[in-house]
């Protein structure tokens, strides 16, 4: 990739997916096929119940209704890491909203009317809605037949319990570690189940052609993941499956893997191949699509008097809801990460995914790291305060040193892994950590700063491969064929910039098809884990090198020189040092015809692939790597800081200033900054407002059905508005590249939101001297904690207000 001055990399190139702004973008919602049927799902009104009888006779009388399906029509299970999911509920329902029937009709209106006429007789069963209740010895079992389910080899369920998976991590000797500790901090941290709340509710369309080919159009992140999981779940050959990727209106992990695509596929199979469409409303998306897990994280951490971490014990519990989905693998990621970007010689962690009678949970932006770092970075501040040490200095004393430090899984960080200490120092500088916050004009308000560090790499299997194809066109432009999904993250634009830089052609001459079909584009594993730019970028660089080899081979014959004497740039192939000897790439695209008519070469196409080097697995009993290598192909390190203002009278928290620092270079600073701002807004909202409410304690009995999700709409599931966005952002990319990354750049999409719950909680402590260990940091919680632990603050604020009214 050379050391010449860069023309397109590192520049603020506009996004290539402008069709979203112009109104031309096509989503699954828009897609229709001739003769298409509509599906409407009927959900259960109980969190756990036997299905006694389903009466759909009146539904069949509605004009336009074609068929009603129940679980008995599909007597098998599907899933991602564990085959624990019924297509439609069979024998019993596992959560409120669990689909028990699917109505198929000629119109959406007919399907909706018929769905309202289905009568189901249930026998309610005891249920569990919390992690604590699900773990009790006498707890009702969500899955009595857990031992019979197929599951991935690295997933370890415990039959006879509600434990869907258990990860173990053991490093050093935990007893010896705590014996050396002078200070020990022990806390429990709780985080509720929340929604991804992407703007585009899920839609899926399927048809089976007469030759047996199954076509799928759906709202998903990863077309090849959908194809693979459908093939595995339904026993269909991959050669008979085509998945089409259209624009995706946000995903945040909620549209990774297999969603509900199997339902329209199976119904189309039953109905002679007719096209079938299942389109959820925003409200249905809460009940029928998986959400983000809730967390219970118990930590005990020891440190010496001089500030060195020596021991960490953890029990991490994730609420998987009714099905394992991605949450079992998130539990694995959280367990093996253990305690963030800090070196600790003695670690003992058990991480669990736990079944409950709630809506299933799945991957969420950050893959468990935001939730883990809320606990870790709160714990770090607590330790620092007990030591009497500045929290930033405490972090610097323990943070990983690339090339020297070993992680919790005994992985030696590569020398060019990044710059964790530099990121921490720069964030502290930008937030002016050592300068106290100004006092607000209103005495009932108080300001403070908070800090958090983070790191993350893609938690992917060692064989998570990617590939790319570049085709040189006869006008000198390029068709770029990639399989990665585009849902707003901007990866496609970054890949276009790589092509532009490598060939010296303007980005507007490079086309990436907005609709990517698995039979028309090369394979990539999944669009998750902030891996797209790194992994697909590496595959693309290899494809470009392949294309350039072919260009040099043709150009060298034209000028009768050796191939190494040809250089490529500015859309031309030239002999080095002889600028008059050049040929434009457009004249080589289909083969170069000499004056005599002899043609050299032919259509020029470059292909490339990437497989992560030395990605290794871990031991099931210890979590230690099986041989020297890496768990992830890269790690991005960073730090975030906030300045907040708390209204002591209302408990309201306003984030005034946000600082985000990442060690990586940015291929497109404009798009990268957009990701950082969006991630911060999302992370701040999670910290302050978001929570899926269930009637766990029976407080709403008589008003709402037991076990129901109580806030499945934006009127009471609160997301940020424009007025909630902080006004002051300071963002910095340190430009510390990894040698095998495309132009040194690593992923940041998920990392943009990791710091904020911890940073805000730490700022709350610095303002009030109150440690809050449960999210969200809502106004009522702030007021309750002040009343319990610092009532004098509230009394002083109220007294001042009374005197001045």
Torsion of CA 516, 522, 526, 531, to 10 degrees: -110
Report the run of H or E that residue 55 belongs to, with start and end.
strand 49-55
Q: Please tell me the distance from the alpha carbon of residue 229 to that of residue 224, in angstroms, as a whole number.
A: 8
- Is 70 exceeded by the pLDDT of residue 313? yes
Q: Structure tokens of 182?
A: 């002078």
pLDDT digits (tens, 9 = 90+) for 48-107: 999 999 999 999 999 999 999 999 999 999 999 999 999 999 999 999 999 999 999 999
Confidence label for 802 from pLDDT (cuts 50, 70 and 90): confident
Strand ranges (E), 363-486 = 445-456, 466-472, 478-481
Q: Which of these three, 279, 312, 330, is where a domain ends?
A: 279
CA of residue 572 relative to chain centroid, distance: 40
Q: Give the CATH number of the domain where residue 481 resides.
A: 3.30.365.10
User: What's the chain's average pLDDT?
Assistant: 95
Q: Do residue 656 and residue 737 come from a single domain?
A: yes
Q: Do residue 638 and residue 750 come from a single domain?
A: yes
Q: Which of these three, 575, 610, 645, is where a domain ends?
A: 610
Q: Please tell me the distance from the alpha carbon of residue 301 to that of residue 314, in angstroms, as a whole number.
A: 8
Q: Which residue segment(s) compose the domain that 717 sits in? A: 409-456+629-805
Instruction: Tell me the mean pLDDT in the region 284-311.
Output: 98
- Is 60 exceeded by the pLDDT of residue 683? yes
pLDDT digits (tens, 9 = 90+) for 329-340: 999 999 999 999
196 located within any domain? no
Q: Do residue 475 and residue 532 come from a single domain?
A: yes
Q: Do residue 671 and residue 805 come from a single domain?
A: yes
31 located within any domain? no
Q: Do residue 116 and residue 148 come from a single domain?
A: no
Query: Do the Cβ atoms of 587 and 600 come closer than 8 Å?
Result: no
Q: Which of these three, 224, 251, 279, is where a domain ends?
A: 279
Question: With pLDDT > 90 as the criterion, what percentage of the chain qualifies?
Answer: 91
Q: Structure tokens of 435?
A: 């300068």
Q: Do residue 681 and residue 781 come from a single domain?
A: yes
Torsion of CA 527, 530, 534, 540, to 10 degrees: 30
Q: Do residue 275 and residue 421 come from a single domain?
A: no
Rg of the chain over CA atoms, in angstroms?
28
CB-based burial of residue 272 (10 Å sphere; 0-12 exposed, 13-18 middle, 19+ buried)? exposed
161 located within any domain? yes
364 located within any domain? yes
Q: Give 612's DSSP letter.
A: -
Instruction: Tell me the mean pLDDT in the region 610-628.
Output: 93
Confidence label for 112 from pLDDT (cuts 50, 70 and 90): very high
Q: Give 30's DSSP letter.
A: G
Q: Do residue 113 and residue 248 come from a single domain?
A: yes
Q: Do residue 164 and residue 307 come from a single domain?
A: yes
Residue 283 CB neighbour total at 10 angstroms:
13
**How many helices (H) and strands (E) would you count in the chain?**
18, 33
544 located within any domain? yes
Q: In this predicted structure, what is the pLDDT of residue 706?
A: 84
Question: Per-residue DSSP letters for 223-284?
Answer: HHHHHHHHHHHHT--GGGEEEEE-B-S--TTTTSS--STHHHHHHHHHTTT--EEEE--HHH
- Whether omega for the bond prior to residue 776 falls within 30 degrees of 0, making it cis, is yes
Q: Structure tokens of 529?
A: 């884990």
174 located within any domain? yes
Q: Structure tokens of 141?
A: 């079992």
- Is 90 exceeded by the pLDDT of residue 111? yes
CB-based burial of residue 499 (10 Å sphere; 0-12 exposed, 13-18 middle, 19+ buried)? buried
Q: Do residue 91 and residue 229 come from a single domain?
A: yes
Q: In this predicted structure, what is the pLDDT of residue 2?
A: 45
Question: With pLDDT > 70 as the criterion, what percentage of the chain qualifies?
Answer: 99
Task: Look at the chain and report how many structural domains it folds into.
Answer: 4
Beta pairing class for 291-292 and 361-362 = parallel
Q: Do residue 104 and residue 177 come from a single domain?
A: no
Instruction: Tell me the mean pLDDT in the region 164-187.
Output: 98
Q: In this predicted structure, what is the pLDDT of residue 805?
A: 62
Q: Give the CATH number of the domain where residue 111 resides.
A: 3.90.1170.50
Query: Do the Cβ atoms of 694 and 712 come closer than 8 Å?
Result: no
Q: Please tell me the distance from the alpha carbon of residue 740 to that of residue 587, in angstroms, as a whole number.
A: 32
Top-ranked range on mean pLDDT: pick from 375-389, 610-624, 716-730: 375-389
195 located within any domain? no
pLDDT digits (tens, 9 = 90+) for 471-524: 999 999 999 999 999 888 899 999 999 999 999 999 999 999 888 999 999 999
Query: Helix or strand or coil: residue 500?
Result: helix
Question: Per-residue DSSP letters for 102-115?
Answer: EEEESSHHHHHHHH
pLDDT digits (tens, 9 = 90+) for 554-579: 999 999 999 999 999 999 999 999 99
524 located within any domain? yes
Backbone angles phi, psi at 5, to 5 degrees: -65, 135
- Is 90 exceeded by the pLDDT of residue 699? no
Q: Structure tokens of 334?
A: 């959280």
Query: Helix or strand or coil: residue 558?
Result: helix
Q: Do residue 652 and residue 790 come from a single domain?
A: yes
Backbone angles phi, psi at 59, to 5 degrees: -65, -40
Could you tell me the pTM of the whole model? 0.96
Instruction: Tell me the mean pLDDT in the region 147-160.
Output: 95
């Amino acid at each position: 990739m050379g050391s010449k001055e860069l023309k397109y990399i590192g520049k603020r190139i506009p996004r290539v997916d402008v069709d979203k702004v112009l109104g031309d973008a096509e989503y699954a919602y828009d897609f229709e096929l001739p003769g298409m049927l509509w599906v409407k799902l009927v959900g259960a009104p109980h969190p756990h119940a036997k299905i006694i009888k389903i009466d759909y006779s009146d539904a069949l009388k509605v004009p336009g209704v074609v068929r009603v399906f129940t679980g008995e029509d599909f007597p098998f299970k599907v899933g991602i890491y564990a085959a624990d999911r019924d297509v439609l509920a069979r024998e019993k329902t596992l959560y409120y909203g669990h689909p028990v029937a699917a109505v198929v009709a000629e119109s959406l209106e007919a399907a909706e009317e018929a769905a309202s006429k289905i009568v189901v007789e249930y026998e309610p069963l005891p249920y569990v809605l919390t992690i604590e209740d699900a773990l009790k010895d006498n707890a009702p079992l969500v899955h009595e037949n857990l031992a019979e389910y197929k599951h991935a080899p690295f997933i370890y369920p415990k039959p006879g319990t509600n434990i869907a998976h258990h990860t173990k991590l053991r490093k050093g000797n935990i007893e010896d570690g705590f014996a050396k500790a002078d200070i020990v901090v022990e806390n429990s941290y709780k985080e509720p189940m929340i929604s991804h709340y992407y703007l585009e509710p899920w839609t899926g369309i399927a048809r089976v052609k007469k030759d047996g080919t199954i076509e799928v159009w759906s709202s998903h992140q990863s077309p090849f993941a959908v194809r693979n999981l459908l093939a595995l779940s339904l026993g269909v050959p991959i050669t008979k499956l085509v998945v089409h990727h259209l624009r995706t209106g946000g995903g945040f992990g909620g549209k990774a893997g297999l969603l509900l695509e199997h339902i329209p596929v199976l119904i189309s199979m039953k109905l002679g191949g007719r096209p079938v469409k299942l389109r959820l409303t925003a409200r249905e998306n809460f009940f029928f699509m998986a959400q983000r897990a809730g967390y219970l994280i118990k930590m005990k951490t020891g440190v010496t008097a001089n500030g060195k971490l020596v021991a960490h014990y953890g029990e991490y519990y994730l609420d998987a809801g009714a099905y394992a989905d991605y949450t079992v693998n998130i539990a694995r990621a959280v367990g093996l990460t253990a305690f963030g970007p800090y070196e600790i010689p003695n670690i003992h962690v058990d991480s669990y995914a736990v079944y409950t009678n709630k809506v299933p949970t799945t991957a969420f932006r950050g893959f468990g790291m935001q939730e883990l770092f809320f606990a870790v970075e709160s714990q770090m501040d607590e330790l620092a305060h007990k030591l009497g040490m500045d929290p930033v200095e405490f972090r610097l004393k323990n943070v990983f040193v690339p090339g020297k430090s070993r992680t919790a899984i005994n992985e030696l960080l590569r020398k060019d892994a990044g710059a964790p200490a530099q990121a921490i120092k720069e964030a502290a500088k930008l937030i002016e950590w050592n300068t106290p916050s100004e006092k607000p004009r209103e005495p009932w308000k108080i300001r403070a700063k908070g800090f958090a560090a983070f790191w993350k790499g893609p938690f992917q299997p060692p064989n998570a491969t990617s590939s790319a194809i570049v085709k040189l066109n006869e006008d000198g432009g390029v068709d770029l064929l990639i399989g990665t999904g585009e849902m707003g993250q901007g990866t496609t634009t970054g890949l276009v910039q790589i092509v532009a830089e490598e060939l010296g052609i303007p980005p507007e001459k490079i086309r990436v098809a907005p609709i990517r079909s698995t039979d028309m584009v090369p394979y990539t594993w999944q669009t998750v884990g902030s891996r797209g730019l790194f992994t697909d970028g590496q595959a693309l660089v290899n494809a470009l090198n392949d294309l350039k080899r072919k260009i040099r081979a043709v150009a060298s014959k034209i000028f009768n020189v050796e191939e190494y004497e040809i250089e490529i740039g500015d859309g031309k192939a030239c002999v080095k040092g002889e600028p008059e000897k050049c040929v434009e790439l457009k004249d080589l695209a289909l083969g170069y015809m000499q004056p005599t008519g002899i043609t050299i070469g032919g259509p020029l196409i470059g292909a490339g692939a990437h497989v992560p080097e030395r990605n290794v697995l871990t031991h099931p009993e210890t979590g230690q790597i099986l041989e020297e290598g890496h768990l992830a192909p890269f790690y991005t390190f960073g730090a975030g800081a906030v300045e907040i203002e708390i209204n002591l009278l209302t408990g309201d928290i306003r984030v005034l200033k946000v600082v985000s620092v990442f060690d990586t270079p940015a291929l497109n600073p404009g798009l990268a900054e957009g990701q950082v701002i969006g991630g911060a807004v999302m992370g701040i909202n999670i910290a302050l407002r978001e929570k899926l409410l269930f009637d766990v304690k029976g407080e709403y009995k008589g008003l709402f059905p037991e076990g129901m999700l109580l806030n499945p709409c934006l009127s009471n599931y609160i997301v940020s508005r424009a007025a909630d966005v902080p006004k002051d952002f300071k963002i910095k990319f340190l430009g510390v590249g990894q040698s095998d990354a495309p132009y040194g750049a690593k992923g940041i999409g998920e990392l943009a939101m990791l710091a904020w719950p911890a940073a805000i909680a730490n700022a709350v402590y610095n303002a009030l001297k109150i440690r809050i260990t449960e999210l969200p940091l809502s106004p009522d919680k702030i007021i309750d904690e002040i009343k319990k632990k610092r009532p004098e603050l509230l009394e002083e604020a109220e007294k001042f207000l009374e005197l001045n009214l």
